[in-house]
Each structure stands twice: as C-alpha cells, then as structure tokens.
Structure 1
Amino acid sequence: MAEQREVVIARWPGPGPVTEGGPAGLLAAYHLATEAEKGAPVGAAAGLPGRYRAEVLDPRAAFAGDVVLVASSGETAVGCVVVTAADGERSEVKRLWTDPAFRGRRVASGLIEAALAHCAERGVGWVRLSVWDWRAGAIALYERLGFTVTEPWDERDRLVCMERTV
C-alpha cells in the first residue's frame, strides 16, 4: 500500500517552503477543467480567457487583498481555495480545486473549513460562493457544510449561488 502523507492547509504565500506548483498549477487545472466542462476546451493555460490566464500567471497579483489557502502533501500543492477580502460582513470563496489524485481525502472540505475559520477570525458574518450546476459533488459538499442556495448575484446561465453564516 502506498504511503499517504498528511495534508496540511496553510495561507499562501506563507513562511514555510514553497510548495511545488503552488496555486498557479492548481488554478490552471481548475480553469482548464471548467472551460472543458463549458464545452470550450483549451489545450493549455495560454489559451484561457484573459481574466483566468492572469490568475494562473500571477496569482499573487490577481488575488492581492484576498487570501489564498493551499493544501499540501509534503512539498506538493494538492488543493486551493481563494477567500475574497470582506465586503462589509460578507466574503466569497472561489476557485476551490483539489488535485484529482487527492479527492476523497477531505482536502476540499478541509479547505472550506479553513476558509470559514479565517472569515470567523475576521468577524465576517456571511460567506457566499457560486458553483456550476453540473458540479453535483461540489454542491453536495457545500450543502453538507451548511451552504444553502440563495438568490443569484451572478446571472450567468447554470450558475448556482449559495451562502451561509459563519
């Protein structure tokens, strides 16, 4: 049986060693998968729409003011989530992604729990997110973690908006 390393979640960039790939590789995988699911596959990050390409090329600049949490196994980044800076008493979580090889190991739920704890520490009262309706597993995860469907703030077709108190 292969050794399963502990998965650790930390704020990125952090004081420890830089994880291999960091959030850039995870964000690229997230956006490439999303574009393929939308029916507009692209072969590489260079083919992503500009807004998403910018996140992959320079996550530090793209998420300046936000918090990026990265799950690592050893020195390899295996999951990430972005927590936006609070807008009043509300933050948003986005870009939740887990390397497919690490799914089923509570990486995604650990990232969301860490995001909620971060929000609670900062006095944020509500957290919201949006998810494509075809991502049934993600929706089920969010519901298990207390998120409920709410009125949409983003009118893109097939996008489900959810929120919960912290």
Structure 2
Amino acid sequence: MTDQGEVAVVRRPGSFTSAESELTGLLAAYHLQTEAEKGNAVADVDELPDRYRTEVSDPRSAFAGDVVLLAHRGGTGVGCLVMTAPADGRSEVKRLWTAPAARGQGIASTLLGAALEHAAESGVSTVRLSVWNWRTGAITLYERLGFAVTESWDGRDQLVCMQGTV
C-alpha cells in the first residue's frame, strides 16, 4: 500500500472482497459515463458492451495479470486505475477514474504516480495510454506528468494516444 497524504492506494484489491466491490462500482461508473459521452447512453451495466460488462462483473478475471490500483479516502474507494502487465518494456494505463464527488483533490495524480512508480520497479521503460479527445482535463493532467501525444495504435475515432517514459 502506498500512502499519499490522505489518499491510500492499494495494489491488486481483487484479493479483498470489499475492495473488489468498490472497484466494481468505480468501473461501472466509468463505463456508464464513457458510453454516455460517446452518445451511447445506457441505463445500467447490463446494457454495456460485453467486454465492459465483463470488467464490471468480474474484474479479478478481466484484469488477471494486470496491476489494479484503488484509491481510498476516508475508508471509501474514490478512484481506480489498471496498469497492464509489462510487454516488450512497456505497460498501458487503462480505466483511470475518480468518483465525481472526489475530483479536484489529486486522486488521479496520486494513482498515476503510483502506477509510474510500479512501472519503474517492474523494469518498464514506456507507459502508454489512450484518452477520448473530449476529456481535456485528463489530457492536461497526462501532459503535466510527461506524457506526449503519439501515433495512434487504436483506430477508434476521437481517441488520443499518448506515451511517456519512466
């Protein structure tokens, strides 16, 4: 566990039942919001595309081999981040999410910092991520932390690909 001020970051919370429940809630909120922003609003998790519904219903299996970070504040899960297992000296950040009520408190920065620290400890030299172009606040955060826009590895329209070195 990494303690960053009032925010505690837990690695691999899937081993703890209560943390897995918190992670499920954060992932559900992330995917529901993302689908709404893409113009595909759905009423609940059961209407999400299969791959996202699987992440929400069984994050332990969906992210097996990956590192899952969960941020707690006051005993409550307020943010999450998934870092893929290293491959060819790089990892990818996925599913960075901060609960709306906890935004503006440094939680995303803390999660990213913990992810980059883990990457360095794991021998990763490059970390990449993708972000929707309308999430300008996230793009600004990534740039502040040293990420730069790079050639896309994902053909989805409006997706910005970025990478940084560790």
TM above 0.5, yes or no, is: yes
Alignment check: 8 A CA contact 1:20 1:77 kept? no
Counterpart of 2:142 in structure 1 is 142
The alignment's TM-score, normalised by the length of structure 1, stands at 0.93
Cα distance, 1:17 vs structure 2: 7.9
Q: Provide the alpha-carbon RMSD of the alignment.
A: 1.6
Q: TM-score, normalised by structure 2?
A: 0.93
Letter paired with 1:7? V
SS in 1 for 2:127: strand
- The question of whether the paired residues in 2 share the 8 Å contact of 1:8 and 1:72 is answered with yes
Q: Which residue matches 1:76?
A: 76
CA deviation after TM superposition for structure 1 residue 10, in Å? 1.3
In structure 2, the gaps of 5 or more residues are none
Quick one: which amino acid aligns to residue 76 of structure 1? Answer: T
Aligned residue pair count: 162
Per the alignment, residue 113 of structure 1 pairs with 113
Cα distance in structure 1, aligned partners of 2:100 and 2:74: 17
Larger relative helix fraction: 2
Provide the C-alpha distance between the structure 1 equivalents of 2:11 and 2:61, rounded to a whole number of angstroms: 15
CA contact (8 A) 1:84 1:93 kept: yes
The alpha-carbon deviation at position 153 of structure 1 amounts to: 0.3
Change (3 A) 1:153 1:96: same
Structure 1: stretches of 5+ with no match in the other structure: none
Aligned amino acid, residue 156 of structure 2: R
CA shift digits 1:17-51 (9 cap, x unpaired): 83483211000000000000000100111110000
Distance 2:32 2:134 in 1: 16
The share of aligned pairs that are identical, in percent, is 64
Structure-2 separation of matches of 1:23 and 1:87: 24
| 2:61 is equivalent to residue 61 of structure 1 | yes
Cα deviation, residue 14, structure 1:
6.9
Distance 1:15 1:33, change over 3 A: closer
